[in-house]
Structures are given as structure tokens and as C-alpha cells.
């Protein structure tokens, strides 16, 4: 399948590791030019070095109100256009609702929701010119709440709503806006949780991963590359009729309609 991403300019946030890094490498493999944004320059440089196309590294904290405009300005200065925005940055704190502080809640919304919202707003005029596309990497918690994931679920639900709202505007203005809900994906964060379970139960990591996956009602965890492949499809001309589409890539974890 020809995705026709060659020469496109893609901003990928949270691209220093995990799903974001996999998206960057997948897009580079399709010939896209990259703007890699995250808080850790060293890791961003490593990802950029592993990509086969021209990359611009942006060390930014997207919780800061000025960060989105800075990333967009740098992208235009280097490449002169924006075709694709992948909002992937953001991790939220798990825990007992009664023990989560106001700071925990604010921090969760500041990075994942407000960071994505501000980037959409800053990039929108340029995506309108290029008839570009936005793909929001959200998460299954936005559709299936959990007691220990109250912040993440709330943030994800808000981002899914924003996806639909911007898709509605995009119908008129020629910008496609879609989202992916990844299920449990084997990133460093999940690997740490698996290791903790393995230590607690005195079993090896493979068995711990299997038990954790079973507790979620899935056969296994996703690889970051599996999420990246869907992101590349949604950003491509093959998905031209997808608008406001939300794809659950979760191994069947989401059972609601």
C-alpha cells in the first residue's frame, strides 16, 4: 500500500521514546521529514539519528503555554510547511482518587490535553493551507474508565471530545482530524510495571506480562510499532475519508460500542 507520505512534514510530540519514537521511525521509513518534540534532547537526538530522513529536534516542555507556538515557528523556519501533526506527548499519574493532588490533576491536563490543544491551534492555519491532518494518540481509558486511572481517563475523554470537535471544523476547512486509542503497549513505562509484578510474585518477566495481559482480557501487549503503523495509515491519503474516526488498537480490551 502506497501511503504517499514522502516529502511530507510531520511534527511528532513525545517522540523521545516509546510510541512516539516508533511513529517517528515509521514515518521516516515512508519518506516524511520530521520535527521531533519532547523534553529530553539526548533521547531525541538518538531517535533522530535512527531516522533515515531530515529531522529537526525540539527540546520543549509542552506544559508551557509558549511551547506550541515555538515548535510551529521552528517547523516553518526549517521546512516552510506543516502537513501532519501527531499529538502523542503525555503521561498521567495513576493512583487512589482520594490521594491524587490538585497538582497531579493539573499536570495531567497540562501536558497531554493542553499541550495537544495548543499545538492543534498553532498548527491549524498551516494545516489548512496544506490540507493536512492531525492524529491524536489518546488511550483506551477515555472510553473505559478505571478506578486507579481517574486522571488519565478524564484527560483521554477530553482529548477524544476535542478530536471530534476539530474534525467537525475540519470538514469545512480541509483538515482531517482522527485519533488512536492504544491499549497496553510495551513501552518503558509498562515494562517497569511488568518488572514490579515479576518481583512481587517471584516470576520471570514473560510470565508476569502474560498474567497482566490476561487481567486486562487481552492475549498480549501491543508493540509501539503496531500503534505507529495505524498512525501512518491515518496520516496518509489512504485514510482520506476518515474524519473524526477513533480507532481502538487494543487487542480487544475495549468491549463497549
Residue pLDDT, tens place only, 130-175: 999 999 999 999 999 899 999 999 999 999 999 999 999 999 999 9
Residues 193, 231 contacting (CB under 8 angstroms): no
Edge-to-edge order in the sheet of strand 176-182: 55-59, 33-38, 9-13, 84-87, 133-137, 176-182, 246-249
Give domain limits for the chain.
Answer: 9-185+223-249, 186-221
Residue 252 has pLDDT above 90, yes or no: yes
Bridge partners for 248 per DSSP = 181
Residue pLDDT, tens place only, 11-47: 999 999 999 999 999 999 999 999 999 999 999 999 9
Phi, psi dihedral angles at 249 (to 5 degrees): -115, 80
Give pLDDT, residue 113.
Answer: 98
Residues sharing a CB contact under 8 Å with residue 161, sequence separation 6 or more, in sequence order: none
Residues sharing a CB contact under 8 Å with residue 179, sequence separation 6 or more, in sequence order: 135, 136, 137, 138, 159, 160, 163, 245, 246, 247
CA atoms within 13 A on the CB side of 196: 6
CATH homologous superfamily of 9-185+223-249: NAD(P)-binding Rossmann-like Domain (3.40.50.720)
Please, what's the b/e burial string for 71-93 (b: 16 or more CB within 10 A of its CB; e: otherwise)?
bbebbeeebeebbbbbbbbbbbe
pTM over 0.85: yes
Give pLDDT, residue 80.
Answer: 98
Give pLDDT, residue 245.
Answer: 98
Residue pLDDT, tens place only, 78-121: 999 999 999 999 889 999 999 999 999 999 999 999 999 999 99
Residues 15, 59 contacting (CB under 8 angstroms): no
| DSSP codes, 75-106 | HHHHHS---EEEE-------S-GGG--HHHHH
Amino acid at each position: 500500500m502506497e501511503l504517499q507520505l514522502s516529502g511530507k512534514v510531520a511534527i511528532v510530540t513525545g517522540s523521545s521514546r516509546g510510541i512516539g519514537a516508533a511513529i517517528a521511525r515509521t514515518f521516516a521509513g515512508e519518506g516524511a521529514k520530521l520535527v521531533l518534540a519532547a523534553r529530553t534532547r539526548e533521547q531525541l537526538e538518538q531517535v533522530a539519528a535512527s531516522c533515515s530522513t531530515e529531522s529537526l529536534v525540539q527540546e520543549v516542555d509542552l506544559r508551557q503555554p509558549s511551547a506550541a507556538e515555538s515548535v510551529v515557528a521552528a517547523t516553518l523556519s526549517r521546512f516552510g510547511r506543516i502537513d501532519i501533526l501527531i499529538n502523542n506527548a503525555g503521561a498521567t499519574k495513576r493512583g487512589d482518587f482520594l490521594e491524587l493532588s490538585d497538582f497531579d490533576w493539573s499536570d495531567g491536563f497540562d501536558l497531554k490535553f493542553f499541550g495537544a490543544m495548543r499545538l492543534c491551534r498553532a498548527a491549524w492555519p498551516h494545516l489548512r493551507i496544506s490540507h493536512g491532518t492531525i492524529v491524536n494518540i489518546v488511550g483506551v481509558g477515555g472510553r473505559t474508565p478505571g478506578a486507579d486511572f481517574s486522571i488519565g481517563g478524564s484527560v483521554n475523554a477530553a482529548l477524544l471530545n476535542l478530536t471530534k470537535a476539530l474534525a467537525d471544523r475540519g470538514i469545512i476547512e480541509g483538515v482531517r482530524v482522527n485519533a488512536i486509542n492504544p491499549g497496553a503497549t510495551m513501552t518503558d513505562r509498562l515494562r517497569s510495571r511488568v518488572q514490579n509484578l515479576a518481583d512481587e510474585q517471584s516470576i520471570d518477566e514473560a510470565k508476569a506480562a502474560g498474567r497482566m495481559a490476561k487481567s486486562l482480557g487481552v492475549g498480549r501487549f501491543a508493540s509501539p510499532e503496531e500503534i505507529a503503523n495505524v498512525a501512518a495509515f491515518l496520516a496518509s491519503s489512504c485514510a482520506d475519508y476518515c474524519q473524526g474516526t477513533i480507532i481502538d488498537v487494543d487487542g480487544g480490551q475495549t468491549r463497549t460500542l
